[in-house]
Amino acid sequence: MSPAISTLTSTSIYMALRNSSLLIALAVVATASLSAQTAAPPPVRLSFAGAVREATGAAPDTAPPPPVVEIAGFRTDAASARVRQARAALLPSLSLGGSWVNRNFNPKTLGFNLPGLRLPSMVPAFNVYDGRARVTQTLFDFSDLGRVRVAKGQVIAANADRSAAVETSAQNVALAYTRAARAQAVVVARQADSVLAAELVGLAVAQEQAGVSASIDVTRAKTQLADAAGRLVVATNQLDRAKIDLARALGRDPSTSIALTDTLSAQLGAADVPADRNAAVAQAVAARPDLAAELARGMAARTAVSAISAERLPRLEVEADYGVSGLRMPDAVGTRQVAVQVTLPILDGFRREGRLAEQQAVARESDVRARDLRQQVAADVDGALLDLHSAAAQQMIAVERLQLAAQEVSEARARFKAGVAGNIEVINAQSSLLRARDADIDARFAAVSARIALARSVGAARTLH
């Protein structure tokens, strides 16, 4: 805010308002602003392209990427871990075990109760020691193979989701930067309005002192200056709020002081986007990560259907163990076992059929989503192109309107200075110039926003610069 205050405290404003309470208020604001700037650390200079790189996690010399990108990376890691979990069913399993048992038993429980055979009613307690290593290996299980493919498909979907998160983060940061640049342009415009209002106050005072203007003209000019000062305060506050939003979009501390190095120029928001509509749609269908993620989820669902159906097939396993067993540790002898097991599922209460129907419904739902996303991709590209063409037309009109408004102010000021008209014409022309400046800023903001939307619609938001 100090540049604005510095401008407002020019000689013309001081001469116009040296006896006004507004000068006191501005001086208080200036003092507070200068004190805050003295205590605050230097701002971080941030360009538009640098902000986009930081939003995508491609800037290694900065803080970590925004939380949405970081969280998406963790979800990808979790999906990769599920592949290892699914693959474990196909790998050997090794376990070691040991046991000590102290027991007794009655021979009658084993059927030794023959007539004329006398056995003790209770065998005294004895110890049994056993130590064993066991290995199991699945030779083939088509359902486990299918579950591994399902997990791999989920990894592909998770990677696509992460790319979608990166694209969304880049778009959000680009829009936040653009809004901050717009707010900065508004501050500059309000500064220019304040300078013009101060000049008109000085002109009205001079005209009154020369006896060619009434005091009401001075009052009107001072009113316009007060209004310009109020608008400048509001614009400065909006700029500070926009910078806070930009810091949060980047995952930075909201108290971080940011200095924007780019303005709402005609090059801001450019990206690697084809100029032709059909080429842009084709690129969007091929590159949009949200569509790729949905296609991967559909493929994983169809693979899950195959895996569940494969559960009806036989499962072959081999098991082997070796260990030592005996009544005393020194007397333990080695024993082993090798077994081959074939399992053929017959009926599980129709649970398998229910799971199969569920996955089939998920696959059909994914197909509908993918078809709708393809149509949405084309709609996004068409909408962004329409907004871009509209913004270009608005810019041409806004530039012409700004030139005419500036000419109107110049002519009205000349007429007032010559004493052939009151300053009502000047004030009306000043208001027209204010609106023309706002229209020019809005047109440039709309153009940059349309370029950002077009880049996002074709999956190229991370290339914004």
pLDDT digits (tens, 9 = 90+) for 266-292: 889 999 898 899 999 999 999 999 999
Tokens of 102: 């102290």
What pLDDT, on a 0 to 100 scale, did the predictor assign at position 10?
42
Backbone angles phi, psi at 45, to 5 degrees: -75, 125
- Per-residue pLDDT, averaged over 128-137, amounts to 91
What pLDDT, on a 0 to 100 scale, did the predictor assign at position 33?
47
Torsion region of 436: left, alpha or beta (phi above 0 gives left; psi -120 to 50 gives alpha): alpha
Rounded-to-integer distance, Cα 417 and Cα 200, Å: 10
- Using alpha carbons, select from 202, 238, 242 the residue that is nearest to residue 218: 202
Ordered by start, the domain boundaries in the chain are 41-100+123-463
| DSSP notation for 200-252 | HHHHHHHHHHTTSS-HHHHHHHHHHHHHHHHHHHHHHHHHHHHHHHHHHHTT-
Band of pLDDT at residue 209, cut at 50, 70 and 90? confident
Q: Cβ contacts of residue 308 below 8 Å, gap of 6+?
A: 143, 146, 352, 355, 356, 359
Tell me which amino acid residue 126 is.
F
Whether the CB-CB separation of 99 and 130 falls below 8 Å is answered with yes
Q: Flag whether pLDDT at 18 surpasses 60.
A: no
What pLDDT, on a 0 to 100 scale, did the predictor assign at position 141?
87
What pLDDT, on a 0 to 100 scale, did the predictor assign at position 162?
92
- Using alpha carbons, select from 386, 380, 426 the residue that is nearest to residue 406: 426
Q: What is the CA radius of gyration of the chain?
A: 39
Q: Flag whether pLDDT at 80 surpasses 80.
A: yes
Q: Flag whether pLDDT at 11 surpasses 60.
A: no
Residue with more model confidence, 10 or 225: 225
Cα angle 98, 100, 102 (rounded to 5 degrees) comes to 165
Please give the CATH architecture assigned to the domain spanning 41-100+123-463: Up-down Bundle (1.20)
Residue with more model confidence, 60 or 212: 212
Rounded-to-integer distance, Cα 187 and Cα 360, Å: 58
Tokens of 3: 């540049």
Q: Flag whether pLDDT at 432 surpasses 80.
A: yes
Q: Flag whether pLDDT at 341 surpasses 60.
A: yes
What pLDDT, on a 0 to 100 scale, did the predictor assign at position 64?
75
Q: Flag whether pLDDT at 372 surpasses 90.
A: yes
- Per-residue pLDDT, averaged over 156-170, amounts to 92
Rounded-to-integer distance, Cα 440 and Cα 185, Å: 10
Beta-carbon-side half-sphere exposure of residue 25 (alpha carbons within 13 Å): 8
**Cα-to-chain-centroid distance, residue 145:** 35
Q: Flag whether pLDDT at 213 surpasses 80.
A: no
- pLDDT tens digit string along 82-102? 999 999 988 999 999 999 998
Cα angle 283, 289, 292 (rounded to 5 degrees) comes to 90
- pLDDT tens digit string along 394-406? 999 999 999 999 9
Compute the mean pLDDT over every residue in the chain, rounded to the nearest whole number. Answer: 85
Q: Using the 8-state DSSP alphabet, how is residue 268 labeled?
A: T
Rounded-to-integer distance, Cα 162 and Cα 169, Å: 10
Place of tokens 């307690």: 125
What pLDDT, on a 0 to 100 scale, did the predictor assign at position 120?
61
- Per-residue pLDDT, averaged over 437-461, amounts to 93
Rounded-to-integer distance, Cα 296 and Cα 145, Å: 18
Band of pLDDT at residue 224, cut at 50, 70 and 90? confident
- pLDDT tens digit string along 352-364? 899 999 999 999 9
For residue 158, the SS3 value is helix
Rounded-to-integer distance, Cα 138 and Cα 341, Å: 10
What pLDDT, on a 0 to 100 scale, did the predictor assign at position 62?
57
- Using alpha carbons, select from 428, 423, 385, 10 the residue that is nearest to residue 221: 423
Band of pLDDT at residue 35, cut at 50, 70 and 90? very low
Q: Using the 8-state DSSP alphabet, how is residue 437 labeled?
A: H
What pLDDT, on a 0 to 100 scale, did the predictor assign at position 166?
92
- Among the residues of 327-461, which ranges form H helices? 351-418, 423-457
